Amino acid sequence: MKRIALFLLTNIAVVAVLGITASLLGVNRFLTSNGLNLGALLGFAFIMGFGGAIISLLMSKPMAKMSMGVRIINQPSNADEAWIVQTVHNFALKAGIGMPEVGIYEGEPNAFATGAFKNSALVAVSTGLLQGMTREEVEAVIGHEVAHVANGDMVTMTLIQGVMNTFVVFLSRLIGYAVDSFLRKGDDRESSGPGIGYYVSTIVLDILLGFVAAIIVAWFSRQREFRADAGAADMMGSSLPMQHALARLGGMHPGEMPKNMAAMGIAGGIGKLFSTHPPIEERIAALQSRGK
């Protein structure tokens, strides 16, 4: 319940901030007595589309810590924690990025990386992952997450999500206005605003286009997973540890990730079109094709 409440409150706050921003800039008044102001609509769509994605990115680290219960390892308390911190440090040096924060959280086998900037990211692993894998396999998983950071995947996915959001907001309202105009054609009654056709069409199109956008974003996410797997293999000098980690993970019950963290986790979702991760078999096959 705490995670759900936090998620809802955060989204309400984000929507409120974006709404106030759009109002202050005047771009929320794209429906005028003379018709649709395309420039204002584009500005409104841009703010709502990119604003939400960027705010989510900037909040990703603190949100991950709170929602997942991540305990940051500031001072290792045992040999395992010291090894995890040292492993992240070694990979960060190889990848040429700043040392990420390192954390552990209770849960089923999984790991994730998040953060708005390459040099101030967070890499966290679950207790289930540490208990269910060999050190070499955990090392490969950590390499995968550091590769996500080094590849700038968090920013890349944010930009892609922002573009998709902008198109959804813009097209749904543009088409909704056209539908409403068509339905009201020949109606001589004066009206101070759009009719019911606009509102119904916009809501339906927001949902339908949102699904299309989610499919496109998920496709890009799957490509980044292949790249992160390859990055881990390059940093380790062999793809075998990553292959073994994926094979072992395939026999585990992967931990569920929060929606805003799913794209950077080691485990995938359900449904191929909407899955942020490729099937494990495809990932292993891609690593095997590297020939080492």
pLDDT digits (tens, 9 = 90+) for 105-158: 998 889 999 999 999 999 999 999 999 899 999 999 999 999 999 999 999 999
pLDDT category at 27 given cuts 50, 70, 90 is: confident
Q: What is the pLDDT of residues 226-277, one digit of tens each?
A: 999 999 999 999 999 999 999 988 876 555 565 555 656 765 544 678 888 8
35 vs 47: which has the higher pLDDT: 47
Q: What is the pLDDT of residues 37-86, one digit of tens each?
A: 888 899 999 998 898 889 889 988 998 898 889 999 999 999 999 999 99
For residues 244 and 136, what is the distance between their CA atoms, to the nearest angstrom? Answer: 9
Q: What is the pLDDT of residues 84-97, one digit of tens each?
A: 999 999 999 999 99
The per-residue DSSP string of 175-217 comes to HHHHHHHHHTTT--S--SS--HHHHHHHHHHHHHHHHHHHHHH
For residues 61 and 64, what is the distance between their CA atoms, to the nearest angstrom? Answer: 5
pTM: 0.85
- Residues 224 and 264 sit within 8 Å (Cβ to Cβ): no
pLDDT category at 203 given cuts 50, 70, 90 is: very high
- Looking at residue 133, its pLDDT comes to 92
Choose from 34-38, 167-171, 266-270 the range with maximum mean pLDDT.
167-171
- Looking at residue 225, its pLDDT comes to 95
Residues in the chain, overall count: 292
List b or e across 181-203, with b for residues whose CB sees 16 or more CB atoms inside 10 angstroms: eeebeeeeeeeeebeebbeebbe
List b or e across 248-282, with b for residues whose CB sees 16 or more CB atoms inside 10 angstroms: bbeeeebbebbebbbbbbbbbbeeeeebbbbebee
Enumerate the active-site residues: 145
Q: How remote is the C-alpha of 193 from its chain's centroid?
A: 36
Tokens of 20: 């106030």
